[in-house]
Structure 1
Amino acid sequence: MNFDFSEDQKFLGDQARKFLTETCSIPEVRKVLNDDDMAYNEAVWKGIVEMGWLGTAIPEEFGGLGLGMLEVCVLAEEMGRVLAPVPFSSTVYFFTEAVKLAASNEQKQAILPKVAEGDVIGAWAFSEGPGAPDASNLKTSFDGSVVNGVKIPVTDGDIATHAIVFAKEGSGASLVLVDLSADGVTRKTVKTLDPTRSHAQIEFNNVPGERLGAAGAGAELAAKVLDRAAVLLAFEQVGGSDVAVDMATDYAKERYAFGRPIGGNQAIKHKLAEMWVKSQVARSNAYYGAWALSTDASELPEAAALSRVSGCESFWFASKENIQTHGGMGFTWEVDCHLFYRRAKLLAVQAGSPKLWKEKLVSALEQKNAA
């Protein structure tokens, strides 16, 4: 079985890397970091929209390119390499996938063409603070017509035009599509460790909403959305890990101490080797996740959890050890190491913590072995 990407998919990745290298360099990322009034890089986002990437996995009948999830995986890795300060993951991994999975044909026809054209920026309003939300502890509610409650933190919630809200309905939970320009929506920007990706607190006060899927089916649908997003986030983490490993390796070759490159020291060699091994393990698991995602395999929950856990571990370790390899310089604002550490910590909680995904992995393996 060949888990590698096709030549066309590799070509897409090469073109994406070329485009992002030219338009989304680290100085472009720092513009967002240094400007409190800049929630995302609009120039980079405009280029992504013009390239048609938002419609990559949207069927042609709904205005998309009609490609597939493997192509999105390829793009996700390139996004991770440049730490793209744009709402791509919120719109594509979460919002679009939720609409594709749960919406009716009429709802898809109304919203997906606007996503593909860049007129809609999506957000996934799932969390209500610490802990995993479910029907038993949700405070945000939906009565079939309006939404009430508070969601925090919502990635890209301060710039999104629409959101998928996870809300309690009756004794269960539902996914609700909300236009964030509607009356009753109050948004407040929330500061996080990584300011290059904006976050917000969103308060809903009798805001009109449109249910996606059946009433009370939100928990099951949300789990499917998170499985899909976990694989795509893993590819971002793989991309970021690779760059962090390269940064550390290049510095170890160039930095001299006591008349020799520090890369010649055994301790540094072992550090770099462990970083590389973890990144390769994460890539292998991400490929497994990509296969399960693209084929809608029954193994997707297991593959998603495995790729998620491995991706989080790899990116965190690589970004941390990259700082250590750079020594005292690695901790400074001027050196770019901290940008990758910030993004690693953010991605590790964006779809639930690694601890949560470890529990999901154990549950998936137990169900598999019991079958």
Structure 2
Amino acid sequence: MNFDFSDDQKFLRDEARKFLEAQCTSAHVRAVLDDENMSHNDGVWKKIVGMGWLGAAIPEEYGGLGLGMLELCVIAEELGRVLAPVPFGSSAFFFAEALKLAGSEEQKLELLPKVADGSLIGCIAISEGPGEIKAGNVATRLGGGTISGKKIPVTDGDIATHAVVLVKDGSGESLVIVDLNQSGVSREPIKTLEPTRSHATISFDGAAAELLGESGNGMALLDQINDRAAVLLAFEQLGGASRCLEMANEYAKERVAFGRAIGGNQAIKHKLADMYVKNEVARSNAYYGAWALSSNAAELPEAAAAARVAASEAYWFASKENIQTHGGMGFTWEVDCHLFYRRAKLLAVQAGSPAVWKEKLVSALEAKND
């Protein structure tokens, strides 16, 4: 079985890399980091929207390009390499996939074309504070077609136009779609370790909501959405981890100490080798996840969990060792190492922490072996 990408997909990757290296540089990322009033880089966002990438995995009948999930994985990796300060993942990985998975035909026809053309920015609002969201402990409630409650933190919640929200619905939980530009919704930006991806508290007070999928099926749908997003996030993490290794390797060849490049020292060689091994393990698991995602295989839950765990570990390790390889320079504001460390820490807790995904992986394997 060949898990590698096709020639067309590799061409897409190469072209996406050229475009992003020119249009989404470190300066574009730092512009958001340095300005407290910027939630994202709107110039970069408009250029990405213009490339049509938001519609890569959206069928043509809903205004997308109809390429497929593998192409979206390729794009995700390239966005991760440049730390794109845009709400791409919230719209394409979560909101669009939720619609594709559980939306009615009317919802798909109305909303997916807007996701594809960038006029709609989507997000997913699940968390209600510290700890894992589980069945029975959701406080935000649905009643009479409206919802009331609070979600915190919501990635890109300050700039999103629509949200998929997990709510208490009678004795169970459901997912609903909420237009965030209405009087029953209030938002407050919150500060995080990674300001180039904005977050917010969203409060609902009698906000109109439309059911997504079947009533009471929210937790099951959320698991499926997270499995799909996990693979895409793993590719974004893989892109960042790969760039960290490249940065460390380049610096090790250039930095001279005591008359020789530091890359000749055994300690540095071991750092680079360990980064490479973890990245390759992450890549293998990400490719397995991409296959399961694109083919809708029964193995998707375990493949997604494995990809998520391996990618989170690889990105955190690579970002940390990149700083260490740069030595005293690595800790400075001027060097870009900390930008990747911030993003690594953020992505590791999106859609659940590594501990949550490890538990999911064990559960999936146990279920498979029963």
Normalising by the smaller structure, the TM-score range is over 0.9
Match of 1:209?
209
Structure 2 residue 331 is matched with structure 1 residue 331: yes
Corresponding residue SS for 1:2: coil
Give the equivalent residue in structure 2 for 1:220.
Answer: 220
What is the distance in 2 between the residues matched to 1:271 and 1:281? 16
Q: Which residue of 2 aligns with 1:160?
A: 160
Q: C-alpha separation between the residues in 1 aligned to 2:43 and 2:10?
A: 25
Q: Could you tell me which residue of structure 2 aligns to residue 291 of structure 1?
A: 291
1:252 aligns with 2:252: yes
Report the CA distance between 1:117 and its aligned residue: 1.2
Aligned residues: percent identity?
A: 68
- For residues 164 and 340 of structure 2, the distance between their equivalents in structure 1, rounded to whole angstroms, comes to 28
Q: Distance in 2 between matches of 1:306 and 1:15?
A: 29
| 3-state SS of 2:150 partner | strand
The answer on whether the counterparts of 1:231 and 1:307 sit within 8 Å (CA) in structure 2 is yes
- With 314-323 and 12-21 compared, the bigger mean Cα shift is at 12-21
**Aligned letter for 1:291?**
W
Task: Give distance in 1, aligned partners of 2:26 and 2:326.
Answer: 18
1:129 deviation in Å?
1.0
Does the aligned pair in 2 maintain the 1:135–1:168 contact within 8 Å? no
Give the CA deviation at 1:274. 0.2
Paired with 1:22 and 1:234, the residues of 2 have a C-alpha distance of 24
Aligned counterparts of 1:101 and 1:87: Cα–Cα separation in 2: 20
How far apart, in 1, do the equivalents of 2:78 and 2:231 lie?
14
Find out whether 1:318 has 2:350 as its counterpart: no
Aligned mates of 2:142, 2:206 — CA distance in 1: 9
Distance 1:224 1:202 in 2: 24
2:74 equivalent to 1:74: yes
- Aligned position for 1:122: 122
Please list, as runs of the form range in 1=range in 2, the aligned pairs for 1:260-275 lying within 5 A after superposition.
260-275=260-275
TM-score, with structure 1 as normaliser: 0.99
TM-score (norm 2): 0.99
The amino acid across from 1:95 in the alignment is F
2:345 is aligned to 345
The question of whether the paired residues in 2 share the 8 Å contact of 1:252 and 1:262 is answered with: yes
Note the residue ranges of structure 1 that are not aligned, 5 or more in a row.
Answer: none
| Counterpart position of 2:112 | 112
> 2:349 aligns to what SS in structure 1?
helix
Match of 2:182 in 1: 182
CA RMSD in angstroms, aligned pairs only: 0.6
What is the SS of the residue equivalent to 1:100?
A: helix
1:134 deviates by: 2.4
Which residues in structure 2 correspond to 1:18-57 (within 5 Å)? 18-57=18-57
Structure 2, gaps ≥5 residues long: none
Letter in 2 for 1:280: E
Q: CA deviation at 1:144?
A: 4.6
Q: Secondary structure at the match of 1:240?
A: helix
Q: What is the Cα deviation at residue 288 of structure 1?
A: 0.2
